[in-house]
Structure 1
Amino acid sequence: MEGIATIILAAGKGTRMKSELVKVLHPILGLPLLSYPIELSLSGIKAEKTIVVVGHQADRIQERFKDLKIDFALQKEQLGTGHAVLQAILFLHEFSGTVLILCGDVPLVKVETLRSFIDTYKENESTLSVLTAVVEEPFGYGRILRNSEGWLEKIVEEKDASEEERMIREINTGIFCVKAPFLMEGLKEIGKENAQGEYYLTDLVEIAKKKGLRCSAHIVADPVEVMGINTRVDLAMANEVLRQEKLKELMLAGVTIVDPKTTYVDRAVEVGKDTLLYPNCHLQGKTKIGERCIIEPNSKILDSILGNDIIIRANSVITESKIEEGAIIGPFAHLRPLSEIKTKAKIGNFVEVKKSVIGKGSKANHLAYIGDSFLGEDVNIGAGTIFCNYDGFEKHQTIIGNRVFVGSNVELVAPVKVGNDSSIGAGTTVTKDVPEGALAISRVKQKNIKKWNKRVKLQRKKSIKKKDL
């Protein structure tokens, strides 16, 4: 849409959240609350300008959204919504279109709702329009007063409303469309002669009416969309609405979700068609999953990229890793950050991988730690193998070539290199490089002591006699 600028109000602390973190940075489906109105402005209605009014923890908010094409206006003192919008006017001096005012703590509004609201505002040739909702319990919200023809006459805040006005169930959502020239002039006329002692943005309605300008109100079809987040209870409710929307979107795109009630997928996660998600899996952050994958129960995948035809067995944890086509992970596997699992490799149960590359077709089937390492193709890592990457001061790398066989219970003390086609015997501690094609073995020679059991029995008898004395 052309001729739209957005102001997003996000200066409040959010006292009822009972948190050290400012309200608009609390996460909801993997993104800060404030991300949702910002996305509506930038991607939804494609506003010419997006201005976020900040106050509490302003630096933290600006740092979080520094890479986006938005401006920040600082409201040092929180003196009301009118005062907040006034701080953003500096960015609109040469703008003469429509200003859309959104709330930073209202994350459920759909872009279709905003487009309908803006279209109706323009069709009515209004100077100001407010998005409203009809609710069962209007306590705490400003009430909408209309004239006999249905036009917006006034918005009365809860504390300033009469008993009769408090019976009205149509409420102000805090979302407005206003013509920029009137907004700039009208804000100068707002006073704070009210119960709160604040500059109410809603007073613009009366100012417009006195000037003979038209004001309108547009009722949202679903009041849930304009639900504000004031407490952690509200946050949980809104999170559930967005979670179910996300799962529905995935299922309609060809993803099978066995039990939507117990499947958790963040907003920014992408999942390819014909992938199967079992109950209680958590896909978080910027995770991308390809087609025809299987994610078994109780798995957690964060900020990772998975190719096609991958199987993640139950109870696996994957963080900031990359897994290529046809690989199998788990059960009970742990991929820590900067791990890369190549095509058709396998990481089995109780294997931990950290900052390592596991080559094509290589496998560590069980009970191993692989850290700060590079494994070539078709490598076998035996059970109980440990890559000793830390000397107490620094981390060191282990490099293993192609087609290497590492027996069980091996320790590789980095830095060390193992050449192609070599083998390492079970129980070996490797402290030196292993040449290509060689067998490395460092065991103590086995010694069998005959009649050992008789010695043990004799020792037991002596021990029993001592106890009896």
Structure 2
Amino acid sequence: MATLIPIERYIAAFPASPLGAWADAAPWALTSNSEAIVRALLATLPVRDYMLADEVAVHRSAVVEDGAVLKGPLILGPHCFVAAGAYLRGGNWVDAHCAFGPGVEVKSSFVFAGSKFAHFNFVGDSLIGAGVNLEAGSIVCNYRNELVDKEINVRIDGAPHRTGVKKFGALIGDGVRLGANAVVAPGALLAPGTVLQRAALLDQGF
């Protein structure tokens, strides 16, 4: 299954990143094991560059406002910004120069450099490429609440594939733009540069 979705086609920096050791894993395998993966990466961090407490590592150049909630395991990279009211939980790895505005919740996700979540966004169990921008209120869903069978399925080259997991949001390529109040349904694969218009629904499920 992993060979069906080469992650580097969506996120160019993936192979050379700290996550490169998992380059052969399926995206949903990464997010399902995010806590273990982040814990493994925590053990490799240069202690002098990070403030570390309760499995939360914050780079010394990052800015975290009072009122933000950071739950481990978590790695927050250089020059990131986390606003008051943001909530990061469930095992997250965040690359450099990322921003999380007020009311943003991110769960069990891997976020690459320069991506920005404006405010009042939810992103669950997802891989987010570099330079991705989420306007206010856009959501990446991770659970098929409306279905009896909760297993997430994806389409690869138009063909259906089962993931074996009940929670997976999306693989979002570099430079993707989600307009305000747009919704991405579970199991989406967004090619680099995709633009989703404001208030749009993207549902690639079956």
**Range into which the TM-score falls when normalised by the shorter chain:** 0.5 to 0.7
How much does 1:331 deviate?
Answer: 1.6
Q: Structure 1 residue 356 and structure 2 residue 88: aligned?
A: no
For 2:130, the equivalent position in structure 1 comes to: 377
**Residue of structure 2 in register with 1:310 after alignment:** 62
Confirm whether residue 367 of structure 1 aligns to residue 120 of structure 2: yes
Which letter does structure 1 place at the counterpart of 2:197? G
Deviations 1:370-415 (A, max 9, x none): 1001110000001111111111332123011011111000111010
Counterparts of 2:194 and 2:70, CA distance in 1 = 30
Match of 1:289 in 2: 51
Could you list the per-position Cα deviations for residues 331-388 of structure 1 after superposition, in whole angstroms to 9, with x for gaps in the alignment? 2110002111110010111100000111100000201001001110000001111111
Say whether the 8 Å CA contact 2:131–2:174 is kept in structure 1.
yes
Match of 1:395 in 2: 167
- Number of corresponding residues: 139
Residue matched to 2:99 = 346
Which structure 1 residue ranges, 5 or more long, are not aligned? 1-270, 274-287, 291-300, 434-469
Q: Is the 8 A contact 1:302 1:318 kept in 2?
A: no
For residues 302 and 408 of structure 1, the distance between their equivalents in structure 2, rounded to whole angstroms, comes to 34
Q: Which runs of structure 2 are paired with 1:9-408 in the superposition (5 Å)?
A: 289=51, 302-320=54-72, 321-392=74-145, 393=150, 394-408=166-180
For 1:272 and 1:330, how far apart are their aligned partners in 2? 24
The answer to whether the Cα contact below 8 Å between 1:379 and 1:403 also exists between their aligned partners in 2 is yes
- Residues 350 and 302 of structure 1, relative CA distance in 2, 3 Å threshold: farther
| CA–CA distance in structure 2, aligned partners of residues 421 and 386 of structure 1 | 18
Cα-to-partner distance string for 1:169-197 (whole Å, 9 max, x where unaligned): xxxxxxxxxxxxxxxxxxxxxxxxxxxxx
In the aligned structure 2, how far is the partner of 1:308 from the partner of 1:315? Answer: 18
Give the helix-richer structure, 1 or 2.
Answer: 1
What's the CA shift for 1:272? 5.7
Instruction: Provide the identity percentage.
Output: 24
Counterpart-to-counterpart distance in 2, 1:422 and 1:333:
25
Give secondary structure in 2 for the equivalent of 1:378.
coil
C-alpha distance after superposition, 1:123-181 (max 9, x if no partner): xxxxxxxxxxxxxxxxxxxxxxxxxxxxxxxxxxxxxxxxxxxxxxxxxxxxxxxxxxx
Q: Give ranges in structure 2 of 5+ residues lacking alignment.
A: 1-46, 151-165
Which letter does structure 2 place at the counterpart of 1:358?
A: V
Amino acid at match of 1:425: Q
Q: CA deviation at 1:315?
A: 0.1
2-structure distance, mates of 1:305, 1:415: 29
TM-score, normalized by length of structure 2? Answer: 0.63
Deviation of residue 302 (structure 1)?
A: 3.8
Question: Normalising to structure 1: TM-score of the pair?
Answer: 0.28
